[in-house]
Every structure is written in C-alpha cells, then in structure tokens.
Structure 1
Amino acid sequence: MAHTTRSLAVGLLALAVAGCSASAQESVDPAAQTEGTTYPLTVDNCGEEVVFESAPERVVLLESAPVTILDGLGVLDRAVARAGTFSDEYYSADLNRRIDQVEMLSDEIDTAGHLMINAEVVLAQQPDLTLGLPEGLTREGLHDGGSNTLVQPVYCPSDVGDTSFASLYEQIGTYGEVFDRRDEAEDLVADLRARVAAAEEATAADTPERDAAVLYPSVGGGPLYAYGRGSMAQPQLGAAGFTNVFDDTAERVFEVSVEELIARDPDVLVLLYQGDESGVLEAVEGLPGSDALQAIENDDVLVQLFNFTEPPTPLSVDGLERIVERFGTGS
C-alpha cells in the first residue's frame, strides 16, 4: 500500500520545512487565502478560461490522479462516477472502500495507457466537472453537455514548461479555490512540503552523485518512453538525490531508443506502468543490448505504478518516498 512508505517522512518530520503556499494557477488570485472562494471563479487551464458559477457538486473522474487531492480537500464524496484504473496499491483500505463505492464507467485502457470512453457515457452522469480529458473527448463537447473540464497542467498540449513540486502545490491550490476548500488545501500542501523536505534531508549526504531514468516500457512490443524536464519525474528524482539523465530534454515524455538509453547508462531505472505489472521489467530486459545497462546488471530497478510519479499529485510524494526507501543512503 502507498502508506507504507510514509514512515520515512514521519521519522524525519522534525527536520522538514513546513512552510505553505497554496497559490492557485495563473488567473486565480492567490491573495486573501483565509477568505472563501468568490464565485463566479475563472481558472486558466491549458490556456482555456474555465468559469465556475459555484463549487462543483457532481464530478466524474476520467483518471485516477485527482483522487488523493479530492480526498485531502474532503470533497471526494462529490465524485459520482469514474473511469480508468484505480489500483488498490495507491490508497489506504478506507480510501479504497470509498473509491469502490463510486460507479465505474470504463476500465478499458489501450496499450499506450490511454482510457477508452465516449462522451455520451460521461455526460449521462450529468457532471458539472470532469477531471481528465482522454483522447476522443473534447472540452467543448463536454461543456455543451453541461460539464466544465480541468486537465492536469502537465498534460496541456503546449507551454507546460519545467515541472516542480511547486506545480503540485499550485494544483492543490487551484482545486482548493474551485471547491471552496482553501484551508484544507493549505493544510495538505504543508504536509506534502514537510514530507518532500524530509526525503531531501534523507538523501542530502548521498555520495557519489548518481543518475537515473524514468521509463514507460511498452509490454508486448512497441516504443520505449522516457521522461524529461516537463514531467514530475524531474523534481522527484532530484529530491531523491538523483540527476535525471534526460534532463536535457524539455518534453514531458518522448520516445527513446535503446541505443540512446545505453549511451546514457543510468545508475538506476524507475519503470512505470498502469494496470498489470506483469512483463514490465521483462520488456526492458528483453531490449537488444539492455544487458549492458548497469542498472539492469546491478538490479537497481524499481517498478512502480504510473501515478506514483505522474502527474503531480500527493501520490508523487508517496512515489518519492518509495524511491528513497529503495535507493537512498547512497546504497
């Protein structure tokens, strides 16, 4: 379970900096954080103005990533339906129980990890907010059906920029504004800041410097994907004491050849997957020449579920703690 890694943060919490900033994104005014949200509220999301006349009451989750933010804000009970993969490993027993009570619309995922669903199925739930925008759905189509849409900023098609833990804190701030849960957002950010600081403290003395790569292998054949500066892998590896071997690439995710991976030869590999873990490690070990990778030779590989890294959510901090637990203290 995701909570098993939190012992690291608990032990080092006194060393952490618990300062908090819950500023919302771009067009949301972060001033007067102790006041409630004033509606109508306009949020800039991927360059689109999304106007909320009131706090959302009927939410459809088209990805699992927002779950831990909504839960931290105390508004998960507003989720009326969900679609995608919601692995038990992400959540506590209590949270899994509550997620299971939310109607599942579709768990069909293609080989690239994309949700397969149509707009009619989503709009039949009469949502006023849809979180996530799978391929085949449009913001305009959902809006015409009565639903606003918010997309994780790292998934925006352009102008994403480098991702950091500030991206996570801003995302929580935006949700806090949208749902009129500013105080809860501040508390959640403060807790996450402390845990990140604890992880950084735990690896600060690690020597020598090491590098790593975060990959998404295609099981059963297909492209190998790597994560650059636009992904949450970048700050996550940095906080865990590693240099991302692909930090010269501004893109969030991109195809990479095995030759390029071997040339960069990271000390550590973090392999992401959705759904079934079977075959993930074998997909990399089966690449031609992969036995030349020192991470493979030394068994310095961590296979973990996608949302433990991407996109920026509290699960990214769980993932950071998992990486530190697996590879920390210079071992």
Structure 2
Amino acid sequence: MPHLLLPRRLATLGLALAATTLLATSCASPTAGSPAPGSGSDPAAAPSAGGFPVTVTSCGTELTLDAAPQRIFLIGADTIPLLDAVGAVDRVVSRTGTLPTDVYDPDLQAAAEAIPVVESGVGETGGSVISSEVVLAADPDLVIGPTNGVDSGALTAAGIPVYTPPAYCPDGTSPQTGTASFQWVQDQVTEYGRMLGATDQAQATNDRLTQQLTQLEPAGERLTAAALYIPQGGGTFYPYGAPSMVTPLFEAAGLDNVYADDQQRVFEGSAEDLLDRDPDVVVLLYSDEDDSAVRDAFADLPAAQQLTAVQQDRVLTLRFPYTDPPTPLSVDGVGQLTEQLAR
C-alpha cells in the first residue's frame, strides 16, 4: 500500500517526534539561484569530477553528498519512477513496501521486482516504518523515504544521508508549496539527477515530459471533479486539495478540482461539504488491483447517491501512483483519466 500522504494535523505524536528528529539532522534541495559548479571563489570548495560534492535541500535542511550514491535504500516504492527517470533503479540495494501492478512498463516492473525487499511495519498513514538497524545492515550510502519511516537521526549519526521527498515533508518545510503543477515533477527529476550524478539523463527525461505535456488534450466539455480516498472500512473520506498532483492532472484532463480552494494536500471531508460542492465527476483513488472495493465503499457513504457524479454515472477510479508524490507517472495519469472520461 502506498504512503497516503494524509494531512499533517492528523499525524500522531510519534510522527511529530520523527519530523522533529529529521529537521534536526537531515537534508536539502536545489534553489533556483544556486551557483554553477566551480563558480565559487574558494578553491577548496570547488567540486570534484562529476559535479560533486552536491548540496540539495530536504525539508528545509541541507544535505551534502560527496559522491554519487551507489547503494540506495528506499523506504516505500513511491520514488522508483524518479529513480527510473535518471537511470538509477539498479543502484537500489533494498526497499520496503509493495509494488503497484499494471502501472510500470514491463522493463521497470522487472527491475523493481528484482530489488530485495526488507520486511517493515505500516505507519498510520499507510507508509512503511522500519528500524534504523535494519537499514544500516544493508550498508546504504543514501536513504530515500518519508520523515516518519525511520529514525533519520540514528542514520545521520552513522554517516548515512537521508533524503525526504518534498511530498513527505512536515508543514512549512517543503520546497513545493501552493498549488501543485507539473513543474513539480520536472523539479524532482532535476533534483534526483543532481543527487545521483545523472544530470544528462534527467534533462533527457524532462525534455520528453515537456513534449508529452504539450500533447495532452482534455476530454470533451470542461467539468468539475473531486478526488477522494476512502480508507479501509469506509465511513469517512479524504478529498485532495490544491497542493495535490490531482489538481494539475485534472486541469490537463479538462477538469476543475472543486477542492482547489483548500491549501491542504489531503484532509478529512464531510458529506455536507461534498454535496455543496457537488462535482460533475468523482475520482476514487485506490491501491489494489481491483477497484470494486473502493467503489462499494464510496456507494456506502452518506449522501453519495445524491451527487451529480453518481446520477450521471461519472464515478471514475485512478491508481495512487498516478497522483502523489510528483513523478513522471503523474503525467501519465492524465491519459488514464481522459480514457475513462471518453467512454
């Protein structure tokens, strides 16, 4: 099950503690005004061959990599498409979590399945939780994962850098704020290229994404839409607001996110508010191979049958990897939606 990126205000004290630890010990991402390699006046600060050392920003703190990592430990599988974008999947020595099916292309699926899987627990937001001892046993030179997935302080103390993607940063520490856009995808591709010494591959991927974005066409008339996650057991639901990648994905598919006025990525919703917004289309996000369970859970929600989307038979489904966090799959998600809208 992917990390569901639930709202920070729903996090437990354990999450807050983990985030605090990360902020005290962790990382950092490139800024638009970063000097070019070797442009500094201090010869001792000049980068080595390959552009290293490289400094990036993760959740508001700086992380310096002296050389391109060759042994990456992934907490969760969400960032595999970003590693693929810079040709670095073969550098992953271990991962946690489950892989999606029918989402990756066959070559990437095979490469991801070949990565050794380490057993882990499941946190409150659905992401992997693992002990630092297990991570250290894999002898990584870079760990990538959410703030609440591991004791990053222990890893940093052991000399292992920990990078947290912007989508997993605590409030106020993410470099990606405001309304999401496809630029966030390309920024992350660029970031991974810098971290892993694969800037040429990153640029080639971004060029392809730019071309892919110019070819996207909306499906028919412009409609309003809401993306909802319904947790196992039902009874409640979580809409996705402006900072979620569903917002630009909807825009490209010819849909307007009815929750785009909310600056939370995902939050607990109410039936009354959903009825007031009354979207033309409802998109149910899910992680299983079969979408029947999420459709049944949605049908059981109070007032679901009163929605225009239900009455017009416009309830669609979309796999989580096509939305958050921002990866090249977010661009592919547009086609997944337009195909369903055209039926």
TM-score bracket for this pair, using the shorter chain length: 0.7 to 0.9
Greater relative CO, 1 or 2 (CA 8 Å, sep 6+): 1
Q: 275, 280, 284: which one pairs with 1:271?
A: 284
Change (3 A) 1:37 1:261: farther
> Which residue is 1:298 aligned to?
312
Q: Distance in 1 between matches of 2:56 and 2:332?
A: 28
Contact 2:95 2:117 in 1 (8 A): yes
Deviation at 1:110, TM superposition (A): 5.4
Q: Distance in 1 between matches of 2:36 and 2:234?
A: 50
> Which residue is 1:20 aligned to?
none
Contact 1:60 1:81 in 2 (8 A): yes
Q: 165, 180, 184: which one pairs with 2:182?
A: 165
Report the aligned-residue RMSD. 2.3
Change (3 A) 1:84 1:177: same
Contact 1:308 1:318 in 2 (8 A): yes
Q: 198, 205, 222: which one pairs with 2:215?
A: 198
> Which residue is 1:286 aligned to?
300
The alignment's TM-score, normalised by the length of structure 2, stands at 0.81
> Which residue is 1:64 aligned to?
77
Contact 2:131 2:151 in 1 (8 A): no
User: What are the within-5 Å matches in structure 2 for residues 1-331 of structure 1?
Assistant: 25-26=30-31, 29=34, 31=36, 37-106=50-119, 109=122, 112-133=125-146, 135=148, 137-159=150-172, 160-162=176-178, 163-199=180-216, 202-203=217-218, 206-207=220-221, 209-221=222-234, 223-275=236-288, 277=290, 278-328=292-342
Paired residue total:
300
Q: Distance in 1 between matches of 2:99 and 2:50?
A: 30
Q: Distance in 2 between matches of 1:255 and 1:298?
A: 25
Between the two proteins, what is the percent identity of the paired residues?
36
Contact 1:106 1:116 in 2 (8 A): no
Contact 2:81 2:328 in 1 (8 A): yes
- Structure 1, residues 269-297: CA drift from partner, whole Å, max 9, x if none? 11112345451111111011110112122
Change (3 A) 1:71 1:77: same
- AA matched with 1:318: D
Deviation at 1:122, TM superposition (A): 1.8
Q: Distance in 2 between matches of 1:222 and 1:287?
A: 6
Change (3 A) 1:116 1:236: same
Unaligned 5+ segments in structure 1 are 1-23
Q: Distance in 1 between matches of 2:57 and 2:127?
A: 24
Deviation at 1:212, TM superposition (A): 0.6
- AA matched with 2:31: E
- Mean CA deviation greater in 289-298 or 246-255: 289-298
Contact 1:291 1:297 in 2 (8 A): yes
The alignment's TM-score, normalised by the length of structure 1, stands at 0.84
- Structure 1, residues 292-326: CA drift from partner, whole Å, max 9, x if none? 11212222122222111111001111111101221
Secondary structure of the residue that 2:282 maps to in structure 1? strand
> Which residue is 1:21 aligned to?
none
Secondary structure of the residue that 2:93 maps to in structure 1? strand
- AA matched with 1:46: C
